[in-house]
Amino acid sequence: MNYKHQFFNDYAETAHPACIQKLSEQTLQQEAGYGLDSVSVHAATLIRAKLGVVNDTPVHFISGGTQANLTVIGALLRPHEAVIAVESGHIATHETGAIEATGHKVIQMPHINGKLTPAAIEQVMRTHPNEHSVKPRMVFVSQATELGTVYSRTELLALRAVCDTHDLWLYIDGARLGSALCSENAACDWQDIARFADVFYIGGTKNGALLGEAIVFPNTILNNDFRYALKQRGALLAKGRVIASQFVALFEHDLYGELAQHANDCAMRLRTGLSELGVVFYTDSATNQQFPILSNAVVEALQKDYGFYTWEELNKRESVVRFVFSWATPMAMVDELLTDTKRLLNS
């Protein structure tokens, strides 16, 4: 399909030139393998500085989000233990049963605005009281959520408290962490993530890297034997610095924040523009995914020129659609999309 531009996802472009540049600077440099090279050590140091965590906080570089999720969850849970997530959570909907394939049940709960609530966790604990059901041991949330919303500091604190009460690990999937932390209504920062999560990952794939995510263990004890878990799942890369070098590019001058901010700015331009035209949004996302509700006629007409997914058919006349913006989205393309939508809404 020959689109003017596509808004299907935030990994349609390869990588920010700075990531490629960093990689190409090392073509003949010989290094140790499996993440023990100087580039991985440097990238981990930059990330720790950003998070304000202690020097021995473990950081691992891994190729993708699903791999991060199944490796972390598979490594931390004992055979009878389970992870709690919202029904719309990535591990519940878009990972092909990867978590269940590690032998662990994903206990799915309804969401509010894409988010898991302490009340939902309490409910799980009440309904899993003993050895006749799986033992809930971990809470999985995405920051930002699959619906583009963001947990505030207060909400994270409340999740942490309920996890402490019930002896649950808190795992934050940060595939879109940059977008979450740069969003207008974030009210939470890097330090909060490191303070509240036992383990989390920082998404590179969706924010400028060719590929790669950085798994961080603020709860350092959980890192015991994690390299064994990585290796066993084929996730310990011989050339781990291919990923680490991109994180150096992204974190040495906060390119990571700049790229996420740009994606969010594009998203908010669309949101403001469509809101002024009376369009209603499915969620109050201030991140790089936007979910306007449009008539099916407008959707069909727009899809002739622009690539984007229909998220959900609301009724016979209207659908929720998803527009995703990336570090590379030209702002002029957002304006063109707005102009075309306005014309269609007024026709």
Ligand X SMILES: Cc1ncc(COP(=O)(O)O)c(C=O)c1O
Q: Using only C-alpha atoms, what is the Rg of the chain?
A: 20
**Distance (Å, whole) CA 174 – CA 225:** 22
Question: Contacting ligand X (CB under 6 A), which of 162, 175, 244, 320?
Answer: 175
Outline where the chain has alpha helix (H): 17-24, 38-51, 65-76, 90-93, 98-101, 118-127, 153-166, 177-182, 190-196, 226-232, 241-251, 255-276, 296-302, 331-346
Instruction: Give the per-residue contact string, 198-227, with ligand X (x = CB under 6 A; - = no).
Output: -------x----------------------
Nearest residue to ligand X, scored by beta-carbon proximity: 65
* CB-CB contact of 35 with 189 (8 Å): no
Instruction: Give the per-residue contact string, 129-158, with ligand X (x = CB under 6 A; - = no).
Output: -------------x---x------------
Decide the pairing of beta strands 309-313 and 280-281: unpaired
Least Å distance between CB 224 and ligand X?
A: 24
Least Å distance between CB 40 and ligand X?
A: 20
Q: Which is nearer to ligand X, 220 or 310 (CB)?
A: 310
Q: Which is nearer to ligand X, 64 or 118 (CB)?
A: 64
65 binds ligand X (CB under 6 A): yes
Question: Contacting ligand X (CB under 6 A), which of 90, 115, 160, 241?
Answer: 90
Least Å distance between CB 185 and ligand X?
A: 19
Q: Site for ligand X (CB under 6 A): how many residues?
A: 9
Q: Which is nearer to ligand X, 101 or 280 (CB)?
A: 101
Decide the pairing of beta strands 169-174 and 135-142: parallel
Q: Segment 286-305, which members bind ligand X (CB under 6 A)?
A: none
**Distance (Å, whole) CA 100 – CA 95:** 10
Least Å distance between CB 98 and ligand X?
A: 9
In the DSSP assignment, the letter for residue 313 is E
Least Å distance between CB 305 and ligand X?
A: 24
Task: Say what angle helices 241-251 and 17-24 make with each other, to 10 degrees.
Answer: 130
Least Å distance between CB 342 and ligand X?
A: 30
Q: Which is nearer to ligand X, 65 or 240 (CB)?
A: 65
Question: 220: burial class by Cβ within 10 Å (0-12, 13-18, 19+)?
Answer: middle
Query: CB under 6 A: which stretch of 61-69, 157-165, 182-190, 300-308 binds ligand X?
Result: 61-69
64 binds ligand X (CB under 6 A): yes
Residues 6+ apart with CB under 8 A from 126: none
111 binds ligand X (CB under 6 A): no
173 binds ligand X (CB under 6 A): yes
Span between the terminal Cα atoms of the chain, in Å: 25
**Distance (Å, whole) CA 213 – CA 64:** 6
Least Å distance between CB 327 and ligand X?
A: 15
66 binds ligand X (CB under 6 A): yes
Residues 6+ apart with CB under 8 A from 156: 188, 192, 193, 196
The contact set with ligand X (CB under 6 A) reads: 64-66, 90, 142, 146, 173, 175, 205
